[in-house]
A and B are shown apart, each in its own frame.
Chain A
Amino acid sequence: DGGITQSPKYLFRKEGQNVTLSCEQNLNHDAMYWYRQDPGQGLRLIYYSQIVNDFQKGDIAEGYSVSREKKESFPLTVTSAQKNPTAFYLCASGPPRRLGELFFGEGSRLTVL
């Protein structure tokens, strides 16, 4: 079935460690997005990519990095520079150009110990 797969669902990290969250889609979408969600808040955009080998910073990119080497994959690295990384991370994909419906993965919950 077509969809977006995020892994791992739960991740624990010690302070000072980098971690990478995986996001894979088989919807043949050009655009992919990473959002962060904190309790009681909406989604905030970290990074997005409209095409392979290209990506742009969102509103809260500091302390995060991404790559887009393949159309299907958009991994997010949470670096040790991210001051408060404990959050729920959501990956999404959608059609390019004419922005329409986004399809979301089930999320990855990162906890820093």
Chain B
Amino acid sequence: SQQGEEDPQALSIQEGENATMNCSYKTSINNLQWYRQNSGRGLVHLILIRSNEREKHSGRLRVTLDTSKKSSSLLITASRAADTASYFCATDSIRGYGNKLVFGAGTILRVKS
């Protein structure tokens, strides 16, 4: 069962532009995380935002969380060619046997130089 769904599925921008990716989920969560995956590699954790937080920053990354709409967004500012990757949101549900993350299908970001 997939909890998070990213939008758009793919995004192509020029270097220096900002990239925004969205994630929607279905059930109440404890926290939401964003991960990055370079082609053929493992996932790397980017940022975690808790259900009682609304916004979080890390370098060029800005994440927002709207629990009333069950949605989150990831903004990458001043994008670079090296940001080209797939980006996934992941949530842990309050219900059920805990300690597992459910991932969305991801957004493929291509930054053209």
Q: Do A and B bind each other?
A: yes
Chain A facing B: main interface SS = strand
Please state if A45 and B100 are interface contacts (CB–CB under 8 Å): yes
Complexed CA–CA distance, A21 and B108 (Å): 27
Q: How many A residues, CB 8 Å from partner?
A: 32
Please state if B31 and A42 are interface contacts (CB–CB under 8 Å): no
Please state if A90 and B42 are interface contacts (CB–CB under 8 Å): yes
* Closest residue of B by beta carbon distance from A101: B45
A104 with B44, Cβ < 8 A, contacts A41-B105, A43-B88 known: yes
Binding site for A on B (CB under 8 A): 1-2, 4, 30-31, 33, 35, 40-45, 48, 88, 90, 92, 97-106
A-B contact pairs, 22 of them (CB 8 A): A31-B99, A33-B100, A35-B103, A42-B4, A42-B103, A42-B106, A48-B100, A59-B1, A90-B42, A90-B43, A94-B99, A97-B99, A99-B92, A100-B48, A102-B33, A102-B35, A102-B43, A104-B43, A105-B42, A107-B41, A107-B42, A109-B40
